[in-house]
Structure 1
Amino acid sequence: MPLLRINATVNGPALHASTRSIRNVLVQARNGRGVSVIMVHGYKYSPFVTGRCPHRQIFAAEEWPAALGLAQPDTLSLAFGWHARGGLAVACAAAYDAARDLAEVIAALRKRGPVQVIAHSLGATVALAALPYLQSGDVGRMVLLSGAAHIGLARHALATPSGRSCHLVHVTSHENALFDLVFERLVSGSGAIGRGIAMPNAHQVQIDCTTTLKCLAALGFPLAPPQRRICHWSSYTRHGVMAFNGALLTGQLPLTRLLTALKDVPTAPSVPCPAREKTHHVNKAPTERATA
């Protein structure tokens, strides 16, 4: 099935570079069968800014969709764009607005079955903040890549009906520690999720851990070792990692099998120093637009 390109707008979700009705397209899509995967980009991208459009860059067919192995006849792939520009705090606020549009798209696909979501960086905030607007079973698995989101948001979202039925895997490494610390400094809230979420349905995979890399290789997913001490993009640029991410999304790699392989691997927080927890308020009450 062709890739659907969707943007968050002031008037709700809309098809990218098209005047077609998104409602009609999603009604047609939800009547199909197979895995549904939504990709969400992070900071600095915007489908409304020339030269920074995610649909022409990381969401181009030969980039994320190909690397994740989504070009299958029964796979519904959606690329979700939003305006992640401006200062980090401004973009974070925009992420909460975009979450409502993401939730509307997911809810529209409810008849098709649980949606799988993959999000990088600040896209993790969009993905997590969408959960309180949804129903149990709407999201099956959420794969976050070097997520820029607060622990408080993650715990709140995973405690909602849709969050409790969702399994979250955070793929990260100590290469991202500096970015986590910057996020904590510039965006008020609890510590970054790289410190660990501590929820029964949330799991962290440290791809800079030698033991973890050996376990993943034994599962058939060999990853290259870290190439840099500081990198915010290794969770999708490291050789082999997108095949692993894609297998988690499509079910090729069952989560139980991954967790069994990693059961004896200690999970060290990606951020090296402790942070003081703060109350983190998220999401206004769900609207009919998001739950229809």
Structure 2
Amino acid sequence: MHTVAPWPAGHVTELLRGRHLSVARASYLTGEPGKTRMADMAPIGLTLLNDEVEDTGPLWPALAALPRGRAVTIMTHGYRYSPRPPETDPHTHILSFHPRRDCWKVVSWPRHLHLHRDGAGLGVALGWQALGQMPRVARRARRVGHALAPLIAEIHHRRPDLRINLMGHSLGARVILAAMTAAPAGSVARVILLTGAEYRTAARAAMNAPAGRTAEVLNVTSGENAPFDALFRLAAPPLRPHDRTLCAGVPGTAGWTDLRIDRAKVRAVMGDLGFRLRPPNTHICHWSGYLRPGLFPLYRRVLAPEDQGLLAELSARLAAARIARPSSGLTWPIPRAAPRPRPSTGERRTLFPPAIAG
């Protein structure tokens, strides 16, 4: 048993009981000195309990075996997942190399990030208890992030040469931003947030924290998510009434890039960079950030240690096209009715006839 960092037990005792961290890595370096080969490894379950990581198993040896400069990518899910019931276990869904096929919105993140290929970095899939009433789960997400921060710190302490990436969908974005506020300086390299359920104030706090000052964030949003943003505001209202969700973008924040994938000009900019993104085929979708064909090639490049300037170039091109700042987080394209003609003076008298007694 290895203690990763002192942490208030009250924040994580109930929350983390039975939760799993699984290493979604497909290969790691093994072999005799001077003779190295790649070996397949099945996902490994880890448990976070109180202030400690129990029985880390092959995580640390796999971490130690990574070549210098590689990436460690921590992925986490959003609402309505939990490792406990098999039917909601994220490790058989989006965080699995071989996900179940009985759900239309299941896409293997680690496989599409090519974490199963030779020379890939280390993938860590974080499962947490995201079942229950939305207000309670939204509060829990921040505590999960605070509990994740010591693991990030330990990885960074053991291998400061590695680049730690974070990727999350929906409330997973809240988990990640909360972790960034507590993680040590320089520990987070790049972050991908997919239709995140969080507010601008929290995002700016994370970017102003020690870990956020050197991090690069890609905030993937879409007008398709507007109804879910509205529901999130009702279930987990912001502390500041006028605070906007991440779908509205976080303009003026260093290291932050907003990507509105439902906009044709954004797709044109991506096409100029070599990423062909299919247009949306629906007005409402909460999962387009990972279901839309053409996005994962971009994500792979963003998370690759060798692509240092991609996000900066993407951000500059979006700004040049004047499309980097959406006007609102609620931009669902609802058709507007045609204006009704104003009635004449005589007609107005008959619109509301006097009530007849009787």
Shorter-chain TM range is: 0.7 to 0.9
Match of 2:184 among 131, 135, 142: 135
- In 1, Cα distance between the equivalents of 2:85 and 2:51? 18
Deviation at 1:240, TM superposition (A): 1.2
- Asked if 1:197 corresponds to 2:243, the answer is no
Which structure's relative contact order is higher, taking Cα pairs within 8 Å and 6+ residues apart? 1
Structure 1 residue 133: deviation in Å? 1.5
Shift of 1:96: 1.6
- Out of 248, 258, 261, the position equivalent to 2:314 is 258
Q: 1:166 to 1:58 in 2, by over 3 A?
A: same
Shift of 1:55: 0.3
Aligned in 2, Cα 1:21/1:167: closer, same or farther, shift over 3 Å?
Answer: same
Is it true that 1:21 corresponds to 2:55 in the alignment?
yes
Partner of 2:229: 180
**1:29 to partner: Cα distance:** 3.5
The 2-side partners of 1:104 and 1:3 are apart by 24
SS of aligned partner of 2:178: helix
Aligned with residue 86 of structure 1, among 118, 132, 137: 132
Where in structure 1 are there 5+ consecutive unaligned residues? 15-19, 274-292
1:248 aligned partner: 302
Q: Is contact 2:230–2:330 with CA below 8 Å preserved after alignment?
A: no
Deviation at 1:161, TM superposition (A): 0.8
Matches of 1:8 and 1:207, distance apart in 2: 36
Tell me the equivalent position of 1:145: 194
Aligned to 1:45: 81
Q: What SS does structure 1 have at the residue aligned with 2:87? A: coil
Q: What residue number does 1:281 align with?
A: none
CA shift, 1:7, in A, is 6.1
| Matching of residues 1-292 of structure 1 within 5 Å | 1=27, 2=41, 9-11=48-50, 21-22=55-56, 25-31=58-64, 32-33=66-67, 34-62=70-98, 63-72=108-117, 73-110=119-156, 111-112=158-159, 113-189=162-238, 190-198=243-251, 199-251=253-305, 253=307, 254-265=310-321, 266=323, 267-269=325-327, 271-272=329-330
Structure 1 residues 165, 100: CA separation in 2 closer, same or farther (over 3 Å shift)? same
Partner residue, 1:283: none
Cα distance, 1:187–1:225 mapped onto 2, change above 3 Å = same
Contact 1:103 1:133 in 2 (8 A): yes
TM-score of the aligned structures, taking structure 1 as reference length = 0.84
After superposition, the CA RMSD in angstroms is 2.1
Q: Structure 2 length as normaliser, TM-score?
A: 0.70
Q: Distance in 1 between matches of 2:110 and 2:328?
A: 27
Q: Which has the greater radius of gyration? A: 2
Shift in Å, 1:272: 3.2
Q: C-alpha offsets along residues 167-219 of structure 1, whole Å, 9 cap, x if unaligned? A: 11101110111111111111021321112223122110010110110111221
- Indicate the percent of aligned positions where both proteins have the same amino acid: 31
Structure 2: gaps of 5 or more residues: 1-26, 28-40, 99-107, 332-358
**231-240 vs 24-33, which deviates more?**
24-33
What is the deviation of 1:250? 1.6
Partner amino acid for 1:81?
G
What is the letter of the counterpart of residue 80 of structure 2? K
Amino acid at match of 1:257: E
Cα distance in structure 1, aligned partners of 2:205 and 2:153: 19
Give the secondary-structure state (helix, strand or coil) at the position aligned to 1:144.
strand
Q: 1:117 to 1:59 in 2, by over 3 A?
A: same
Amino acid at match of 2:216: H
Instruction: Find the residue that maps to 2:80 and give its secondary structure.
Output: coil
What is the distance in 2 between the residues matched to 1:64 and 1:139?
20
Counterpart residue type for residue 285 of structure 2 = C
